[in-house]
Structure 1
Amino acid sequence: MFQAMSFTDYGVSPGNLNDFWRTQTFHERFDDLDAPVFIDSGGFKLMNSNTFGDAPEEGGVPNEWGLYTDPKSILGLQLDFGADIVATLDYPIPPRLKEEEKVERMNRSIDSAVECLQILDDPGLLEERFEVNKRAAKRLRQQKKDEEEPGVYVALHGHDYETVSWYVGNFIERVEDVDADTSFEGFAIGSLVPLRDSVRTLVDIVQGAKDAIPESRADEIGIHVFGVGGKQVGLLSLLGVDSFDCSTHMQTARYKKYLHPDTWVHHELDELDDHLDPDGAFPCDLPNCTLCTEESVGYEEMVNLLNSDMSRTATMERKENGKPIKSDYYALLARHNFEVYNRELREVRKKIDEGKLLEHVIDFAREHDDIKRGLKNAQVRDKRLRKDLESRGAYDLLPGSNLNSDQMKLSEWGAGADESFDTQRISLKYSPGDFNVLSQSYTPPSDREILLVIPCSQKKPYSESRTHSVLFDKLSHRTSNIHKVTISGMYGPVPEECERQQPVTEYDYVLAKEDTDQIKLVTNRLTEYLNRFGDRFDHVLGYVTSKTYRQVTEDSFERYGRGTVFPRDPTALQLTEFFRNDNIDELISFIDEQTTSHS
């Protein structure tokens, strides 16, 4: 699995993208690559980036990459990379998105999928407006001649049964209307990553897709799920999912979490002592897990190194001397977590071959409450599944088996929305012009000595987010002397008094390093805010550990002429450093020193 837009995360420049990366396919470049390459469109990344906007012919602004949020542009890139399977360009739906925008984005995804099939029918369409696609068009013509053009998975979105069913039916109807010769292999369900901990919701969505596929085509149209795997593989396979991709094993490793191979519990690496065997080895016998089979990997050494604040120089010295560095241990941890997932995937495939998948899911559900809830939820709509469970005597897994009543209402299990979601609504239609504190009649409070700049959060209002609440809980009584200004990636400075204005509570945007124009706008606005109001404060401070937002803060402070950003020398520029006690303590010590010396 490869995401078309993820190349921006690997140091690829606009120049060598076209001169190097697009000149050979992955299969041509890597001789030992003997597996099919499934290339996603990168729609999720595009949702939070202004870099790849509309093509100039559609009213957009040219960018140095020569790539645009356009089916022709993205498909050309996928073909140049040598995709054996492509997912159509999509417009993901974040949780809590306003209903009218949700419908609009789903329709745009459907339009994009239909256009993708039309382009694959007629390679000449690839070259329209995009000169860089000539190579891709030539390759596609040859593939069609050899009957080897890539398979197509239609990106599918929706957060409940009814919406997903509507999407599938609408797309199939549209394809029949345009009479595209190129067929599609299946549907790839997106927008699932925020929902993956709610198995009941995943069940609802998968059933909505499966039930909407015409019975005559049920065996030929596959279902892929983006960003979901691990524990859910058996249950979702039982319901009709054919393929999975998941990066959770890497994400959890970044936070130093070890997935226990027997219990499926993610343990903090620091707290794993009680689960080690008498010799201090990890509780794992997975054959391909290097972490657990390598005698040279010591638990204590690993923990100490990952918890250390090691400089770049010290890291390079260890590497030159052949000693493990942090990246080595993170990789081993990620590989272990992956192998736990991989073991379950192999077991599911084996049970499918043996015709014993249901028995496997029954055993697994009895060991894991979340899978049990999902299995019960699935039976509300799938009466055949309920009969199959009854025939195997699995009465403890039937809906209502643990309730006072034997009857289960659909509203109790099937509506799809997880009860943990809050009611905050968001919109993707906001632009920087919808809020600008510099255009308002605004004056900061006069009774604070410290101006503290910190980055925005996904949760709104900012003050209720985990990042802001953790920091301000630690600051304790000092907050009465602090005026907080949040850096919004969309709007620039947002004083704490303005956090609950509608454009601020409803927008959803993350400032990315590729969005150079937006970075400039945010930096200019923060600089102007400091020029206007900075002299009202004795101290101008920032607490920022995310790379792009720190760049904005440091550049603004430099242009203003004063200000200190904490932590002064961060181990890494990433969100996890925001919560590190040593970093927060550094900020608190500075505030206490300045307050004491002033008094």
Structure 2
Amino acid sequence: MTDTSVYQTTVQRKAGRIGALHLRRNGIALPPLSTPILYPVVAFMTSTNTNGGGIWKYLLKDVMKHNVPMLSQVLHFLDFNLTGNTIGYWREKSMRERYRDPNGPYDAPMFLDSGGFKLLYNTGISLSEFGIHKETAADDILDFQLTLGGDIIASLDYPLPPGLVRSEAETRMNRSLKNAFRVVEKLAEMENPPYLYICCHGQSREDIQDYVMQVFERLADVPSFGLAVGSLVPLRGENDSEVLSRICGVLDAIPESARDRTPIHAFGVSGNLTPILAYLGVDSLDSTSYVQAARSQSYAHPDTQKKLKILELDSMECTCRVCQETSLEEMQQAFMEPKSYRRTSTGKYKSYYYAKIALHNFEMEVKSLDNMVQAIEADNSLEALVNYAAKARGVREAVSWLVENNHEFAAKMSKMVVSFPKRITTQPTKQILSLNYTPDSFSIPLDYQPPTEKRVLLTIPCAGKKPYSLSRTHSIVNDKLRSAFGENQRFIHKITLSGLYGPVPEEFESEEAVVHYDFQLLPQNAAQIQLSADRFNTYLNQHKTHYELIIGYVTSRAYRKVLELVEKQHQDFILLPTKPKQKRLSEFFRHIHLDELIEILSNALTAN
């Protein structure tokens, strides 16, 4: 074995392969990391010290205790409202050193992504207080990854949201390539560099093929590096066929001479696609869904993977180590108690039990992958995939794509299923988006007057899908209002809170600048939060006498910060929900909060 980190394929099948990533840390060889592998995505910079973090505290303790290889992205601290001084504390030691005292030694590999997607919509946000500067971002992110002790790293990239106009997509892909080549140069100067994955992007199979070919043309002399496929998360579930197509585009473009030494990672698209991706030749994946499901107390059934509510279970008939050491009765008792952020009658915090659900969910995802790995070893992956596809939930589009693109799979599948519906190839009209719109691209006309009959102002946050009224969040609110008030709903004036533009009255939802912009406000973007609040205050100063009632219904932290500033200026402004458990989007859909909204609105609407 060489004195640098390398990947080697050990078993190559017609479909799927098994390999080993030979890593070195400080010049010392680590035990080979067998692939395919699933990494749990974790967050460890969640507080001012290692004692905070809620669910993450308990997840990290377990993952580190069992030496499970993990993945994290270095900008995850942006989700936890930490200061530059706090991040300075985290940068003083590697993650392993920092957590050695509370959690014990951790020797497994750690994969650190750059977190480029965090800056996708907030390119103007300053991270200088965290030691990351716009002019030297690639170098600064690399330094951060090295300081935290990453054994595997991914280059700083610029993801492509679906529908991004071509010129902007090309610019972002070129920037990602430039950053990757810069990181390669920097690592070449190091004595013991981490193993590098170069992030790959494209808007189609052909696009990403060209991207990968450029990588190999430029890095022909680099002995081993991986390819990490990005820009897949927004496609997941909505367009799984495109996920598989782009993965295959990457595989197609790898030179034959480099195939057995080039591992492939797919960012953010595990779950029920895991066995399919391993079959296609993906060597590693990562999962956040195990935590996301746990937050809603959703427990993966050991056989079907169907998500079940923990409070509705009579037993946990699961042999995984997590369930064997966890009492269902104790967990249910804790969740039924009203207290939060305090110890329950069991002596433990609820976050401890949320972590147990998450760890079980992760074990089930690993089990799904292990079944395919065993089939690859036995040279029986096709049979295993057909059996999986016939029973799995939520993979219809992916299976249809396989039927169309893999004749052997189609032939086998036809023997198990009498007929399988063809995938609908006529795609709906794609939403064309641009990241180049600025706050000045839209503003309410100076002579604007609210519609005469609109007596109640209701503001809710913007959504990725445009026009806003077609989005899930707006549709849910609209259905709730229609059900509660019928024809009286016409008296409500919906004004969307755009993170980029501030207030957008519903009459302007179809304006070009409103339909085609793409932006998501971060809690750290203080300047944009203030701008949005100022614009909303200006609107209320001009028009609030028109309304009998003014309400904001927002749960996400950044957008709530905007309306909290508005609330300070206007005492008659009502900000709902009044007591959200957490400031995150999931709270938006809770019935208790929507019911509170309806109750407040009823005071003004049912009297007419």
For the superposition of Structure 1 and Structure 2, which TM-score range results when normalised by the shorter chain?
0.7 to 0.9
Q: CA deviation at 1:339?
A: 1.2
Q: CA deviation at 1:322?
A: 4.2
Matching residue's letter, 1:175: L
Q: Structure 1 residue aligned with 2:185, among 118, 121, 133? A: 118
Report what 1:402 is aligned to: 419
- SS of aligned partner of 2:207: helix
Q: Structure 2 residue aligned with 1:536, among 546, 566, 570? A: 546
Q: CA deviation at 1:99?
A: 2.4
Q: CA deviation at 1:433?
A: 1.1
Q: Does the 8 A contact of 1:41 with 1:88 survive in 2?
A: yes
- SS of aligned partner of 1:289: helix
Q: CA deviation at 1:381?
A: 5.2
CA distance in 2, matches of 1:502, 1:212: 37
- Output aligned runs, 1:147-158, within 5 Å: 148-158=192-202
Q: Structure 2 residue aligned with 1:192, among 232, 240, 243? A: 232
- Output aligned runs, 1:341-380, within 5 Å: 341-368=365-392, 374=398, 377-378=401-402
Q: Does the 8 A contact of 2:386 with 2:413 survive in 1?
A: no
- Output aligned runs, 1:449-460, within 5 Å: 449-460=455-466
Matching residue's letter, 2:119: L
- SS of aligned partner of 1:441: coil
Matching residue's letter, 1:67: I
Q: Structure 2 residue aligned with 1:315, among 333, 340, 350? A: 340
Given the alignment of the two structures, is residue 426 of structure 1 paired with residue 433 of structure 2, yes or no? yes
CA distance in 2, matches of 1:583, 1:574: 13
Q: CA deviation at 1:324?
A: 4.5
Q: Structure 1 pair 401/71, CA: closer, same or farther in 2 (3 Å)?
A: farther
Q: Does the 8 A contact of 1:256 with 1:268 survive in 2?
A: yes
Given the alignment of the two structures, is residue 108 of structure 1 paired with residue 141 of structure 2, yes or no? no
Q: Does the 8 A contact of 2:556 with 2:584 survive in 1?
A: yes
Q: Structure 1 pair 380/446, CA: closer, same or farther in 2 (3 Å)?
A: closer
Q: CA deviation at 1:500?
A: 0.9
Q: CA deviation at 1:265?
A: 2.2
Given the alignment of the two structures, is residue 218 of structure 1 paired with residue 288 of structure 2, yes or no? no
Larger Rg: 1
Given the alignment of the two structures, is residue 47 of structure 1 paired with residue 120 of structure 2, yes or no? yes
Given the alignment of the two structures, is residue 264 of structure 1 paired with residue 305 of structure 2, yes or no? yes
- Output aligned runs, 1:69-108, within 5 Å: 69=134, 70-108=137-175
Q: Does the 8 A contact of 1:425 with 1:506 survive in 2?
A: yes
Q: Does the 8 A contact of 1:493 with 1:526 survive in 2?
A: yes
Matching residue's letter, 2:327: E
Q: CA deviation at 1:470?
A: 1.5
Q: CA deviation at 1:186?
A: 1.4
Q: Structure 2 residue aligned with 1:546, among 556, 566, 582? A: 556
Q: CA deviation at 1:554?
A: 2.2
Cα deviation, 1:224-270, whole Å, max 9, x if unaligned, reads 01112233222222221111111111112223333222122234556
CA distance in 1, matches of 2:507, 2:518: 19
Report what 1:227 is aligned to: 268
Given the alignment of the two structures, is residue 6 of structure 1 paired with residue 76 of structure 2, yes or no? yes
Given the alignment of the two structures, is residue 473 of structure 1 paired with residue 475 of structure 2, yes or no? no
Which shifted more, 580-589 or 87-96?
580-589
Q: What is the root-mean-square deviation in Å for CA atoms of aligned residues?
A: 2.9
Q: Does the 8 A contact of 1:461 with 1:505 survive in 2?
A: yes
Q: Does the 8 A contact of 2:460 with 2:494 survive in 1?
A: yes
Q: Structure 1 pair 16/269, CA: closer, same or farther in 2 (3 Å)?
A: closer
- SS of aligned partner of 1:297: helix
Q: Does the 8 A contact of 2:334 with 2:346 survive in 1?
A: no
Q: Does the 8 A contact of 1:51 with 1:63 survive in 2?
A: no
Q: CA deviation at 1:467?
A: 1.4
Report what 1:565 is aligned to: 575
Report what 2:12 is aligned to: none
CA distance in 1, matches of 2:600, 2:453: 20
Unaligned runs of 5+ in 1: 54-61, 123-140, 405-411
Which shifted more, 346-355 or 560-569?
346-355
Report what 1:555 is aligned to: 565
- SS of aligned partner of 2:265: strand
Report what 1:133 is aligned to: none
Report what 1:160 is aligned to: 204
Which shifted more, 476-485 or 78-87?
476-485
CA distance in 2, matches of 1:372, 1:483: 40
The answer to which structure, 1 or 2, has the higher relative contact order (CA under 8 A, 6+ apart) is 2
Report what 1:286 is aligned to: 319
Matching residue's letter, 1:251: Q
Q: 1 or 2, which has the higher strand percentage? A: 2
Q: Does the 8 A contact of 1:121 with 1:182 survive in 2?
A: no
- SS of aligned partner of 2:274: helix
CA distance in 1, matches of 2:571, 2:364: 53
CA distance in 2, matches of 1:350, 1:484: 55
TM norm structure 2: 0.79
Cα deviation, 1:139-179, whole Å, max 9, x if unaligned, reads xx4xx1xxx21111010113432122121112222335xxx
Q: CA deviation at 1:527?
A: 0.9
Q: Does the 8 A contact of 1:14 with 1:64 survive in 2?
A: yes
Report what 1:17 is aligned to: 87
Q: Does the 8 A contact of 2:81 with 2:523 survive in 1?
A: no
Q: 1 or 2, which has the higher helix percentage? A: 1
Q: Does the 8 A contact of 1:51 with 1:514 survive in 2?
A: no
Q: Structure 1 residue aligned with 2:98, among 15, 25, 29? A: 29
Matching residue's letter, 1:315: S
TM norm structure 1: 0.81
Which shifted more, 321-330 or 90-99?
321-330
CA distance in 2, matches of 1:104, 1:342: 37
CA distance in 2, matches of 1:379, 1:482: 49
Q: Does the 8 A contact of 2:310 with 2:332 survive in 1?
A: no
Matching residue's letter, 1:500: S
Q: CA deviation at 1:52?
A: 4.6
Cα deviation, 1:498-557, whole Å, max 9, x if unaligned, reads 111111111111111111111111111111111111122122221122222122112113
CA distance in 2, matches of 1:211, 1:382: 14
Q: Structure 1 pair 91/4, CA: closer, same or farther in 2 (3 Å)?
A: same
Q: CA deviation at 1:431?
A: 1.0
CA distance in 2, matches of 1:496, 1:265: 39
Q: Does the 8 A contact of 2:343 with 2:350 survive in 1?
A: no
Q: CA deviation at 1:473?
A: 2.0
Given the alignment of the two structures, is residue 584 of structure 1 paired with residue 594 of structure 2, yes or no? yes
CA distance in 2, matches of 1:158, 1:397: 36
- SS of aligned partner of 1:219: helix
Report what 2:246 is aligned to: 205
Q: Structure 1 pair 101/379, CA: closer, same or farther in 2 (3 Å)?
A: same
- SS of aligned partner of 1:120: helix
Q: CA deviation at 1:182?
A: 4.7
- SS of aligned partner of 1:92: coil
Given the alignment of the two structures, is residue 502 of structure 1 paired with residue 512 of structure 2, yes or no? yes
- Output aligned runs, 1:289-300, within 5 Å: 289-290=322-323, 294-297=326-329
Q: Does the 8 A contact of 1:554 with 1:565 survive in 2?
A: yes
CA distance in 1, matches of 2:331, 2:503: 44
Q: Structure 1 pair 428/51, CA: closer, same or farther in 2 (3 Å)?
A: closer
Q: Does the 8 A contact of 2:272 with 2:394 survive in 1?
A: no
CA distance in 2, matches of 1:394, 1:445: 61
CA distance in 2, matches of 1:403, 1:481: 48
Matching residue's letter, 1:559: Q
